[in-house]
Chains A and B, each alone.
Chain A
């Protein structure tokens, strides 16, 4: 059974710092991995989708990498800003299914 873990659960950094959020999964037979952002009381906003055949995806200051063999993905945020403060979730879909398993998220606070 696929399990997805995100460590740390919470993180505070000063503005301008580059940071890395981690996502680990137990079954490497994945179809794709998706990173989301969730602001308090809001829905989830898709940030990046990485297909199993890809190693990384980039959007603006965000870069997500995927290493299936080690069961890990990282989300790199460059030059963090207070507006980046949110909870970041990763979700993994296993090969042959439409279902996603979510991690419990990392709550990020960027201090001005």
Chain B
């Protein structure tokens, strides 16, 4: 079991460029999440997907879009990157069968110049 995987590990973008962060889990979990982690701010929820085919906004959704491609995959898209989106992005998954215990991926470190 690989658990939760994320690609890429590192990315540098120029302001205005777009990119998609990929996340996949092999634990057959229904729920998946995208967080960003900034110094002094902790982890903040960007978007989540309670189940395949559904997505909902979290605390800080502006500037992002998501796609729940199938049960395994949940992608995060930055359409026009801004320096304020420089952060470390984490994907996580959970499931009711495991009392919604969250499992995290290794993260993507994104720098927007």
A interface residue numbers (CB < 8 A to B): 31-32, 34, 36, 42-46, 49, 51, 89, 91, 93, 98-105
B interface residue numbers (CB < 8 A to A): 31, 33, 35, 40-45, 48, 50, 58, 90, 92, 94, 99-107
A selection of 22 A-B contacts at a CB cut-off of 8 Å is A31-B100, A32-B100, A32-B101, A34-B101, A43-B106, A43-B107, A44-B102, A46-B101, A46-B104, A49-B99, A91-B43, A93-B100, A98-B31, A98-B33, A98-B48, A98-B50, A99-B45, A100-B45, A100-B102, A101-B45, A102-B43, A104-B42
**Judging by beta carbons under 8 Å apart, are A103 and B42 in contact?**
yes
Task: Tell me the bound Cα distance from A28 to B33 in angstroms.
Answer: 23
Residues of chain B lying within 8 A (CB to CB) of residue A91: 43, 102
10 additional A-B pairs beyond A34-B101, A36-B104, A99-B45, beta carbons within 8 Å, are A32-B100, A42-B106, A44-B92, A44-B102, A46-B102, A89-B42, A99-B33, A99-B48, A100-B102, A104-B41
